[in-house]
Amino acid sequence: MLFRMLSWRGARMKLTILRGLPGSGKSKVACDILASYAGVHHNPIAVSADSYPGLYSEIGGRVRINPSMLDKAHGSCFANAIWGLERGVHVVVDNTNLSTEEVIPYVSLAQAFRAKCEVVTLICPPSLAYERQTHGVPEGAFDRMVKRFESYKPLPHWAHLDWLSHHELCWIAGEYRLVEKD
């Protein structure tokens, strides 16, 4: 199983930060990670801004985001991540986390809790992600998200932190595969 290769099992508390475009499969990967813990670790959790009540609504058969709720949704997600780490469980952050600025608070949170942290980037053709996305992101906004996603760069000092790792999963032939780095 792919997720065993990514070292998500073990005794040390973990925070896994998923990064990917809407429609890239982050929620599916989050579910797969949680399932890989069945009977092994006490109740890992996935947290997501998408689960915030009122963030999305359906109008005329189309999903619409309520932009005024985004700040509260992300604040709630962060608070839920804290709640999980306070209880010593593995937390999976299922948000787009497109930019370095969006990832930094979660890396800092892992550091504060002395948790192992993994940033997992899902590489998927943008056209496929756009087609699969269920959030109703308009094409222009989606294109801006692609640019933010592609401009992500880990902070230079992160390379020296033994508790922080980066992985890439690439969508190849209908499934995600771990990209081995040299």
The token pair that represents 133 in the structure block: 């996305």
pLDDT of the residue at 181: 66
170 strand-pairing partners: 123, 177
What phi and psi values does residue 53 have, to the nearest 5 degrees? -60, 130
- Domain spans of the chain? 12-178
Whole-structure pTM value: 0.89
pLDDT of the residue at 63: 81
- How remote is the C-alpha of 56 from its chain's centroid? 19
pLDDT of the residue at 94: 97
pLDDT tens digits for 130-163?
A: 999 988 899 999 999 999 999 999 999 999 999 9
pLDDT of the residue at 9: 46
Least Cα distance to 148 among 168, 121, 118, 128 occurs for: 121
- How remote is the C-alpha of 167 from its chain's centroid? 12
Radius of gyration of the chain (CA): 16
pLDDT of the residue at 8: 44
What phi and psi values does residue 164 have, to the nearest 5 degrees? -120, 130
User: pLDDT below 70 — which residues of the chain?
Assistant: 1-12, 41-42, 181-182
- The CATH fold of domain 12-178: Rossmann fold (3.40.50)
Angle at 2 between CA 128 and CA 107, to 5 degrees: 80
- C-alpha span between 24 and 135 (Å, rounded): 12
Q: Are 95 and 102 in contact (CB under 8 A)?
A: yes
- C-alpha span between 135 and 142 (Å, rounded): 11
pLDDT of the residue at 147: 98
**Token pair 């040390």: residue:** 12
pLDDT of the residue at 174: 83
